[in-house]
Amino acid sequence: MTTSGYATERETTEGRVFTVTGGDWDTVTGSIDPLSNEKIVVNMGPQHPSTHGVLRLVLELEGETVTEARPVIGYLHTGIEKNLEYRNWTQGTTFVTRADYLAPLFNEAAYVFAVEKLLGIEEQITDRARTIRLLFMELNRISSHLVWIATTGMELGAISMMLYGFREREYILDIFEETTGLRMNHAYFRPGGVAQDVPASAIKKIRDFLVYMPKKLKEYEAMLSGQIIWQERTQNVGVLDVTGCLSLGVTGPVLRASGLAWDLRKTMPYSGYENYEFDVPTAQTADVWGRYLVRMAEIRESLKLVEQALDKLTPGPVMIADKKIAWPAQLAIGVDGMGNSLEHVAKIMGQSMESLIHHFKLVTEGFRVPPGQVYVGIESPRGELGVHAVSDGGTHPYRVHMRDPSFVNLQAIPAMAEGALLADVIAGGASLDPVMGGCDR
């Protein structure tokens, strides 16, 4: 019997249950008879087992070998899909951006592409808006991969990697803040274009970042790639081949690390990706090491894309010309710190009653979307992010479903973990890069 202040134990009908809070593993194993009780069920989570969110893993162990793994999700379910049905189509971006919080711009992009496809206005999106979207999605892909390398490094014992990864990510979040006003949850992409033009100061920061980042990537590789512990923890760990990936629906870097160059940016291009030059990095190892190599290479490809997008960025409007969809005013931060447009206020209050009515109707009621359904899939940092949007002809979505790659990819945890060691569950799970906000929505 334990007398420790940390571990408590109680008898239940299912057997003896321990609550372990760290540092007291010996007391638990000490009170289990190794001959008669070989099997232990360990509840990992639901509080952060890593920094990916609230995920719970129920692991059945024999010694240190996992015999059964069962992921339990739903702790971060916030009903985003249901909420969308009671807001207008434009307000929807504010909700979807909060799903996968490490790749907010991808959520917005998939959603606005779906709305634009429903409206049939894809061709009318201005070049500048299209380029800005691509530019910001690629910056977001870099920041998301940086969080992956940072947290995975931390989980596998390379603590300094976490500090470096988050430091560089902050650089990108500064660029986002400069442009959208927020570090995360931007609601920057809107049906018809983007909310604001990119300020010149942000363009300069992006240019600086393009010089800064490659050096840092070399630093990461110098720190990790040759590191024997890093290699031992990642090579031949969490193996999932192409067949396994496709039958479990796993896409993104995990699929590409098993050798299949399936990247929706190349295979089903959208938003003008067909006009850019970039490669789809793959690896043949199908393990955590391969996923590391693929993600590092993808950051480099994204830098190439960002550079090309900056060169293609020609002046022009960032919102569709159609007045039935475009927000009437280009808001700017006023002296009072509020978003305002004095010119527009002068017009609607002084000259044009119709403009005032139009503005009011568009903002309070929103635009109508012809009935029908569409599915749009884009390549998020974690794989295929799909939005299935249904309209009944009203000003609100009738139904929006987000096919989040974290949700689908997490199904692969049992396939990777069962039969492996307990420590490899962490490496395998982290290599999927799950974000629970997206998974549970």
Partner 1 sequence: MSVEPNAEPAGANLGAPAQTPASPDKGMFGIHGTGDVSGFGGLVRRRPANADSPRPFGGYFDEVHDALEEAYPAFADAVEKVIVDRGELTLHIAPEKIAEVCQIMRDDESLRFELCSSVSGVDYLGSDNRRLHVAYHLTSLTYRRRVRLEVAVAPGTPVPSVTAVYPTADWQERETYDMFGIVFEGHPNLTRILMPDDWEGHPQRKDYPLGGVPVEYKGAVIPPPDQRRVYQ
Which residue from 21, 65, 160, 267 is in contact with partner 1, where contact means CB under 8 A? 267
Quote the CA–CA distance of 401 and 223 in Å, as a whole number.
41
Asked if 98 touches partner 1 (CB under 8 A), the answer is no
Nearer Cβ to partner 1, position 292 or 407? 407
Residues 132-171 that bind partner 1 (CB under 8 A): none
Asked if 373 touches partner 1 (CB under 8 A), the answer is yes
Which part of the chain contacts partner 1 (CB under 8 A), choosing from 40-48, 72-80, 160-168, 297-305? 72-80
Asked if 429 touches partner 1 (CB under 8 A), the answer is no
Which residue from 68, 183, 394, 418 is in contact with partner 1, where contact means CB under 8 A? 394
Which part of the chain contacts partner 1 (CB under 8 A), choosing from 40-48, 51-59, 315-323, 387-395? 387-395
Which residue from 388, 418, 421, 422 is in contact with partner 1, where contact means CB under 8 A? 388
In the complex, minimum distance from the CB of residue 303 to partner 1, in angstroms, rounded to a whole number? 27
Residues 224-263 that bind partner 1 (CB under 8 A): 246-251, 260, 262
Nearer Cβ to partner 1, position 2 or 395? 395
In the complex, minimum distance from the CB of residue 165 to partner 1, in angstroms, rounded to a whole number? 29
SS (H, E, C) the chain: CCCCCCCEEEEECCEEEEECCCCCHHHHHHCCCCCCCCEEEEEECCCCCCCCCCCEEEEEEECCEEEEEEEECCCCCCCHHHHHCCCCCCCHHHHHCCCCCCCHHHHHHHHHHHHHHHHCCHHHCCHHHHHHHHHHHHHHHHHHHHHHHHHHHHHCCCHHHHHHHHHHHHHHHHHHHHHHCCCCCCCCEECCEECCCCCHHHHHHHHHHHHHHHHHHHHHHHHHCCCHHHHHHHCCCCCCCHHHHHHHCCCCHHHHCCCCCCCHHHHCCCCCHHHCCCCCCCCCCCCHHHHHHHHHHHHHHHHHHHHHHHHHCCCCCCECCCCCCCCCCCCEECCCCCEECHHHHHHHHHCCHHHHHHHHHHHHCCCCCCCEEEEEEEEECCEEEEEEEEECCCCCCCEEEEECHHHHHHHHHHHHHCCCEHHHHHHHHHHCCCCHHHHHC
Asked if 56 touches partner 1 (CB under 8 A), the answer is no
In the complex, minimum distance from the CB of residue 28 to partner 1, in angstroms, rounded to a whole number? 27
Residues 174-193 that bind partner 1 (CB under 8 A): none
Closest to 16 measured CA to CA, from 44, 45, 37, 35: 37
Which residue from 104, 377, 429, 438 is in contact with partner 1, where contact means CB under 8 A? 377
Which residue from 26, 232, 322, 392 is in contact with partner 1, where contact means CB under 8 A? 392
Quote the CA–CA distance of 320 and 287 in Å, as a whole number.
44
Which residue from 43, 395, 421, 423 is in contact with partner 1, where contact means CB under 8 A? 395
Which residue from 63, 74, 157, 214 is in contact with partner 1, where contact means CB under 8 A? 74
Nearer Cβ to partner 1, position 27 or 395? 395
In the complex, minimum distance from the CB of residue 380 to partner 1, in angstroms, rounded to a whole number? 13
In the complex, minimum distance from the CB of residue 44 to partner 1, in angstroms, rounded to a whole number? 18
Asked if 323 touches partner 1 (CB under 8 A), the answer is no
Q: Which residues bind partner 1 (CB under 8 A)?
A: 73-74, 77, 79, 81-82, 86, 88, 117-118, 120, 246-251, 260, 262, 267-268, 357, 361, 364-366, 368, 371-375, 377, 384, 386, 388, 390, 392-396, 398-399, 401, 403, 407-408, 410-411, 440-441
